[in-house]
Structures are given as structure tokens and as C-alpha cells.
């Protein structure tokens, strides 16, 4: 599987390198108000790709913030026994090797990166 992965990476590098070599001619971008920019085609494509990546990341930021806020809220809703780290439990004298019935909450919380499943209506 590793060999296939490296083969795929090498193939992609070769294709992109060949694309760059075949598009070395200068292109002229005409902006508003008579501004013009001349650059090799490879740099124009690279700049557009970079702007697309930045735009995609910035578009995802509100969703990341919302998920982080939901994860923090779920942590606050956990019972104290499940929310405490192991070091705090050991400091209070709880034996970590034999968990008692009170160490787990009645219902386990949802993973913070997954939406809460909806309970079916009856």
C-alpha cells in the first residue's frame, strides 16, 4: 500500500511538473481601470490555487467555531465524575483499576465532532 501511495504522489508530481513546463509563456491579466499584470502562466495558476485554499479555510472558520462551542457546552453538561481528568480522580483517592458503578454517566455523551443523533418520535 505504501508503494502505491508513493507511486500516486510521484505521478501527481510528474503531471504538475509537466504542466508547469508546458505553460511557461507569459500571460497578461487585465484588471479594472486599465491595470495590467504580466506573469508566467504557472504563477497565475499557483496564485489562484492559493487564493482558493485561503477562501475555503476562511469559509470553514464559522463552522469550526460553532463545533468548538458545542463541544465546550457538552463538556459542561457532563456529570462531574466523567468530566474530571484521571489525575484528579487519583488525587481524591479513587482506585483507577477497579471502576465503580458511579464512574460512568448513565448515558455517554456524543463525540464533540459529531452531531447529536436525533431520537425517533413515537
d(CA 50, CA 58): 12
- Would you kindly state where each structural domain of the chain is located, as residue ranges? 2-77
pLDDT tens figures, 58-93? 999 999 999 999 888 888 887 766 556 665 555 555
3-state secondary structure at position 37: strand
Is the pLDDT at 96 greater than 60? The verdict is no
3-state secondary structure at position 84: coil
Helices (H), the chain: 2-22, 41-77, 80-83, 86-91
DSSP annotation of 36: E
Is the pLDDT at 45 greater than 80? The verdict is yes
Predicted TM-score (pTM) above 0.85: no
pLDDT, greater one: 118 or 77: 77
Amino acid at each position: 500500500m505504501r508503494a502505491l501511495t508513493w507511486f500516486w504522489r510521484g505521478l501527481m508530481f510528474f503531471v504538475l511538473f509537466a504542466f508547469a513546463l508546458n505553460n511557461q509563456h507569459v500571460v497578461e491579466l487585465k484588471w479594472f481601470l486599465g491595470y495590467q499584470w504580466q506573469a508566467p502562466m504557472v504563477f497565475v495558476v499557483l496564485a489562484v490555487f492559493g487564493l482558493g485554499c485561503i477562501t475555503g479555510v476562511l469559509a470553514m472558520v464559522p463552522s469550526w467555531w460553532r463545533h468548538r462551542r458545542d463541544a465546550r457546552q457538552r463538556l459542561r453538561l457532563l456529570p462531574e465524575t466523567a468530566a474530571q481528568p484521571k489525575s484528579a480522580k487519583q488525587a481524591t483517592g479513587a482506585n483507577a483499576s477497579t471502576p465503580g458503578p458511579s464512574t460512568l454517566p448513565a448515558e455517554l455523551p456524543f463525540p464533540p465532532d459529531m452531531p447529536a443523533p436525533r431520537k425517533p418520535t413515537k
